Amino acid sequence: MAGPAVSRLNRPVSHRLRPNPDQQDKNMNAPQHPAAPMPDVQSSADTRHLAINRVGIKAIRHPVRVRDEHGQDQATIAVFNMYVGLPHNFKGTHMSRFVEILNSQENALSVESFPVMLQSMVERLEAQTGHIEMNFPYFINKSAPVSGVKSLLDYDVTFIGDICHGEISSTIKVVVPVTSLCPCSKKISDRGAHNQRSHVTVTARTNDLLWIEELVRLIEKQASCELYGLLKRPDEKYVTEKAYDNPKFVEDMVRDVAAALNAEPRIDYYVVESENFESIHNHSAYALIERDKKASH
């Protein structure tokens, strides 16, 4: 008959399995041999003789502070596209440096300071050309037209910067929601007229400081009526009647905005687009005007 099983818990532990404290201390205090330098593959040569126009990172979100025309900072989240030109003889660029540039931004960004970031990028990446797009929601505190009650309205804004051998080009793009009312509907109807929300998008290359708020105001003045985040009943009556008294086709919208942009000396080039989200159709009405004012002279 077999004898009783011996429990593993009662077996003697071999001294060879026990850690030696003295040996552990010696291993921890042993001098570490310096690691061999890691190869920089991106900086190695490329023999295909093909330069790359833009290479970098796309669609990275990062918290930023944007300065308004009154010197106040607004916290927001921006989506960045950051690229540099790569000469034909280099294999790759250093992608991590783009993120380092974003993390090093301590001051608030504005249309005034954005070119500084662009210059910093090409210097850090040792490039001759660079391109940055920074898209973010921007809020403006507006007063209702009659009651004066204040509320925030959001706008989609993009700063675009290009640099080539030290020459910087700055572009600002804003999407401004407005109201448009159909002149034809008003003319043929005994009562009322169809109206809708529209998006007017202006992309403007500037030669001097032009604040976001200034461009937004220029666009809103050309609409049937501007939008507000909060309206009381007297305000709602006002905006309804103002739109009715100021009907505009999508063609009128882009022409009126373009005329205002033509009169603004700080703008050298622009594209103005209007999309009316038709309330009586399942499609939009659209129009576009593009002009290079410097080439027109």
Number of other CB atoms surrounding residue 62 within 10 Å? 14
User: For the chain, which ranges sit under pLDDT 70?
Assistant: 1-34, 40-43, 296-297
pLDDT value for 47? 79
Burial class (CB in 10 A: 0-12, 13-18, 19+), 4: exposed
Measured N-to-C along each axis, helices 95-103 and 114-124 cross at an angle, to the nearest 10 degrees, of: 140
pLDDT value for 151? 98
Pairing relationship of beta strands 284-292 and 129-143 according to DSSP bridges: unpaired
Measured N-to-C along each axis, helices 212-220 and 250-262 cross at an angle, to the nearest 10 degrees, of: 130
- Is the separation of the CB atoms in 132 and 70 below 8 Å? no
What does residue 10 show for φ and ψ, rounded to 5 degrees? -95, 0
Best CA proximity match to 264, nearest among 291, 288, 226: 291
Report how far Cα 293 is from the mean position of its chain's Cα atoms.
25
- Is the separation of the CB atoms in 215 and 172 below 8 Å? yes
pLDDT value for 104? 86
- Report pLDDT digits (tens) over 252-283: 999 999 999 999 999 999 999 999 999 999 99
Ordered DSSP codes for 154-198: EEEEEEEEEEETTEEEEEEEEEEEEEEE-HHHHHH-SS---EEEE
pLDDT value for 4? 46
- Report pLDDT digits (tens) over 7-62: 444 444 444 445 565 555 555 555 566 677 777 666 677 778 899 999 999 999 99
How many whole angstroms separate alpha carbon 61 and alpha carbon 30?
A: 44
> How many helices and strands (H and E) does the chain possess?
8, 9
Q: Taking the model in full, what pTM does it have?
A: 0.82
